[in-house]
Amino acid sequence: MSSKTLPQAHVKCSLKKCTLQPNNFRAAKGLSGRRPQRRDSSVVFNTPGRERVCTTFAAGFGPRKGPEKKVKVADPVIAEEITPCLCDSGKDYGSCCQPYHKENSYPSDPETLMRSRYTAFCKATPATLQYLIDTTHPDHLAIVDKTELELKDDYNLSCKNIAYEGLKVLSSEDGESEDEAFVTFRIWYKFVASFEGKRGGKTRKATEKSDRKTNTEKSRFKKVDGRWLFIESVESDQTSFRLGDESEESTDVLLKGKDAASKALGMAAKARQQFGFKGKQ
């Protein structure tokens, strides 16, 4: 049977994406002078001695598999805008915290302000550092007994020496007056230390990170001239939680293990006392 007389079903390419256009095929043996390889997954062996190759898809790569590849954006500014925002809002940075960091707009509620301040710490640029200063209530300096310069140094150190790994906002609540509010959130982070030295005549850099740490914090915010500002941290708890955990109880395995062990020891001590048992501790 010649290829011209083949019914359509017989010349069908084995690839789903093939458009079945005759131009997509060529006789591999006759035109390229090579026998079709195993990688030519679209070779159709429906005509003895006249193997056909789908020229669109049989360039040695075979059919595309798996999820669609992400498009790489060369422009770093655009790439940053379309990156998911680090504040866990589910939005892109360009339509979430970036306009606040550029001071093009201002967060309309304390929770959004809190999220944008977290992202500012993560970004750690001169602009976001300034944003942290601009969104801090003047009374905060008196509360922590620091000058603005010292506060800026603190923020700078936090940006440099802490790698922020996650945020979960747990709750937002109103304060006693209209211009007061509280936001409770949890962050995950690691302390980072950078080293630089010379070895073999070359300058080498190294970084070391601590174990992941958790901080659950309740912050107080105040509204001044229509703008919410961070005033102080009113509660802070370093209990360890797994990344992304929103529960109230720690799920940290080590901590739970320690709890269970101390409870067991307490029960054993009680039992010894009750039954007058004097054995090995």
- Residues interacting with Zn ion, by CB under 5 A? 85, 87, 89, 96-97
Nearer to Zn ion, 15 or 86 (CB): 86
Minimum distance between the CB of residue 98 and Zn ion, rounded to whole angstroms? 8
Nearer to Zn ion, 119 or 136 (CB): 119
Minimum distance between the CB of residue 218 and Zn ion, rounded to whole angstroms? 20
Nearer to Zn ion, 62 or 94 (CB): 94
Nearer to Zn ion, 81 or 252 (CB): 81
State phi, psi for 44 to the nearest 5 degrees.
-110, 115
Nearer to Zn ion, 217 or 252 (CB): 217
CA distance 134 to 43: 65
Minimum distance between the CB of residue 261 and Zn ion, rounded to whole angstroms? 41
Minimum distance between the CB of residue 151 and Zn ion, rounded to whole angstroms? 23
Minimum distance between the CB of residue 113 and Zn ion, rounded to whole angstroms? 11
Nearer to Zn ion, 79 or 144 (CB): 79
Nearer to Zn ion, 57 or 189 (CB): 189
Minimum distance between the CB of residue 160 and Zn ion, rounded to whole angstroms? 21
* Three-state helix/strand/coil letters over the chain: CCHHHCCHHHHCCCCCCCCCCHHHEEEHHHHCCCCCCCCCCCCECCCCCCCEEECCCCCCCCCCCCCCCCCCCCCHHHHHHCCECCCCCCCEHHHCCHHHHCCCCCCCCHHHHHHHHHHHHHHCCHHHHHHHHHCECCHHHHHHCCCHHHHHHHHHHHHHHEEEEEEEEEEEEECCCCCEEEEEEEEEEEEEEEEEEEECCEEEEEEEECCCEEEEEEEEEEEECCEEEEEEEEEEECCCCCCCCCCCCCCCHHHHHHHHHHHHHHHHHHHHHHHCCCCCC
Minimum distance between the CB of residue 169 and Zn ion, rounded to whole angstroms? 11
